[in-house]
Amino acid sequence: MDKLLKKYVHQNWEDISEHRNEKHYFVQVSDDIEKHFSEVQYQLEIEIPGELKEFYKNIGYGFLWFGLKQKKGIYRILSPQEILDLYFEPDDDASNDDFITYRENAWENLEENALLAFCLFGEEDSMLYMGITDGAIYYLSSARKIADSLCDFLSLLDKEVDYFMK
């Protein structure tokens, strides 16, 4: 799957408007990715699943099905730092809290179901999760398993956008 997605990896967000018609758009994670992993694991008291770590190292973070307008979700894979922003409120009151509507369900799924939110799907609290122990991908909660692994999810999604919404 990495080979398929590598062509969509960019150095930064600066040229995003030039690639509006691309299928996907990813940005590489900074060189100190292990530091970011450690921070997420420390703050959330979890171990990031190995497959997600490899995805960050090899591809990065960004948008799946970026150029497609007729899709139900936004498919925004969060960076490790954004995962922390999702789970914790901003330190200063002047900062915008982009994740306020997602936070409660993210914590509930982490604490009760061992699911780590890693991808924004839609409005309000609609997210995709990865099982911390099984590595499976879930939509909304542990009741909606949509793939056995991140690789399976990416492969299924690459074949058919919104496949799990039927």
What SS3 state is found at 128? strand
Helix, strand, coil share (%) of the chain residues, nearest 5: 40, 15, 45
152-155 contact pairs (CB < 8 A, 24+): 153/128, 154/1, 154/5, 154/64, 155/1
Domain boundaries, the chain: 2-165
pLDDT tens-digit map of 68-95: 777 778 899 999 999 998 898 877 665 6
More confident residue, 18 or 46: 46
Which positions ≥6 away from 163 have C-beta within 8 Å?
Answer: 146, 156, 157
Strands 9-10 and 76-77, bridge-based pairing: unpaired
- Taking the C-alpha atoms of residue 101 and residue 13, their distance in angstroms, rounded to an integer, is 25
pTM, two decimal places: 0.89
Q: Give the residue among 75, 152, 139, 95 at the shortest CA–CA distance from 113.
A: 139
pLDDT tens-digit map of 85-124: 889 887 766 567 768 778 888 999 999 999 999 999 876 6
> What does pLDDT average to over the chain?
88
* Homologous superfamily of 2-165: SMI1/KNR4-like (3.40.1580.10)
